[in-house]
Amino acid sequence: MSLQLAAQCVDDIPNANLFEMPVTENQCVLFHDMVSGDEKMLKIFDDIERIATANVPIFVTGETGTGKELAARACHEQGFDSNKPYIAANCANFSEQLMESQLFGHKKGAFTDASSDHAGLFESAGEGTLFLDEITTLSLPLQAKLLRVIQEREFSPLGSHKLKPFRARIVTASSTSLADAVVNGDFREDLYYRLGVVTISLPALRDRGLDKQLLAQHFIQCLIEQEMKGHGKDDSFLTTDALNFVETYHWPGNIRQLRNVLLGALVLHKGEGITAAALSNQINDSVDRMSVQPSKVTSQSNVTPIRPITIQPLWVTEKATIEQAIEICGGNIPRAASLLEVSPSTIYRKLQTWEAA
């Protein structure tokens, strides 16, 4: 599918009456579930169209919430292998041993819990695409093994000496710079050059101009049609002051935060027009839940008790804040990371460090 065929003007998108804001200079494009009228994103769409025709390693970088997995999937769907498997995994979700088993697969009896043969991601991806998110969280020993698979285009399941071919295109991503990870000693330099043959750098939402308003209206439309169907929200829309709020807010959690705020406002708002106040309340509620509430003094005395000042190690305070954020977000670590304005890989790495201590 060419970019010209994939692109659609706003007028061609269903229920386009929701899109009242003008898109000037650039055409509004719908490209594999990504919507933009911004020049930087349109160039990325064009780059993906060119990249997708070759089986070369692709690295996608960008802040958390910028849509790295959407870009990876677009590379797959735009290519000649779009009818082949698309396999995605977040490297930060697994321990080192489990991640190795997930990647390479294993034979029955390879380790204590290996009660049967298991096909890993390298095999399951076949001739399609393997997407590995948060690649910088892989341990150095696993990085060495991944490097060999990419170089030799073959692998062996755990507990087996039989080589199998690796034919899939590999796409990796991280919200952490690979170059910085190399400098810090967390990532192999030789693997860095192997994975970064082609790099797609996704801009933060705050740097995408009118896309903030465009995406807001696109999400409202999709949320009404997909998640709020039959809940009396069919006529909901963003008011002018809401669009102005979307435009001026800095959105530290990027596209993911924008969508979640809109969903919360849509669920809670009464009436048709979703206002700036409704959006602001959603953001403020998240901030309030992140704040440590002071304990109330139940004593009837008018004298405020003097509490001794205790100084805790920084890691203790950091651990308590991260755990509170995860609890508030119902265990959703990417959302907790968005609230804390850090990458999910940072939280995963700290959790693993605390568990090992």
Q: Is the pTM of this model over 0.85?
A: no
User: Which of 179, 202, 225 marks a domain boundary?
Assistant: 202
Residue 304 lies in a domain: no
For residue 210, the model assigns a pLDDT of 86
The band of 285, judged by pLDDT with boundaries at 50, 70 and 90, is low
Phi, psi for residue 34 in degrees, rounded to 5: -105, 130
Give 143's contacts (C-beta < 8 A, 6+ positions apart).
187, 188, 191
Model confidence at 113: pLDDT above 80: no
Per-residue pLDDT tens over the stretch 116-143? 888 899 999 999 999 999 999 999 999 9
CB 145 within 8 A of CB 102: no
For residue 318, the model assigns a pLDDT of 79
Select from 231, 288, 201, 217 the least CA-distant residue to 259: 217
C-alpha distances in Å from residue 208, one per residue of 68, 127, 175, 211, 347: 15, 34, 18, 5, 27
Q: Which two tokens stand for residue 123?
A: 């095999």
Q: HSE on the CB side for 249, CA within 13 Å?
A: 24
CA distance 288 to 165: 52
For residue 115, the model assigns a pLDDT of 79
* Stretch among 67-71, 210-214, 349-353 having the lowest mean pLDDT: 349-353
CB 328 within 8 A of CB 340: no
CA distance 245 to 202: 23
Q: What is the largest CA-CA distance in the chain?
A: 78
Per-residue pLDDT tens over the stretch 226-275? 877 767 777 888 999 999 999 999 999 999 999 999 999 988 878 778 99
Crossing angle of the two packed helices 333-340 and 276-290, in degrees rounded to 10: 100
CATH number at residue 50: 3.40.50.300
Residue 308 lies in a domain: no
CATH number at residue 337: 1.10.10
CA distance 35 to 322: 32
Per-residue pLDDT tens over the stretch 316-343? 777 878 887 787 776 777 777 767 777 7
User: Which of 162, 181, 202 marks a domain boundary?
Assistant: 202
Range of the domain at 52: 39-202
User: Which of 148, 168, 202 marks a domain boundary?
Assistant: 202
- 198 shares a domain with 50: yes
For residue 312, the model assigns a pLDDT of 62
CB 145 within 8 A of CB 32: no
Residue 57 lies in a domain: yes
Q: What number is the average pLDDT over the span 88-107?
A: 89
15 vs 92, residue with greater confidence: 92
For residue 316, the model assigns a pLDDT of 74
Residue 92 lies in a domain: yes
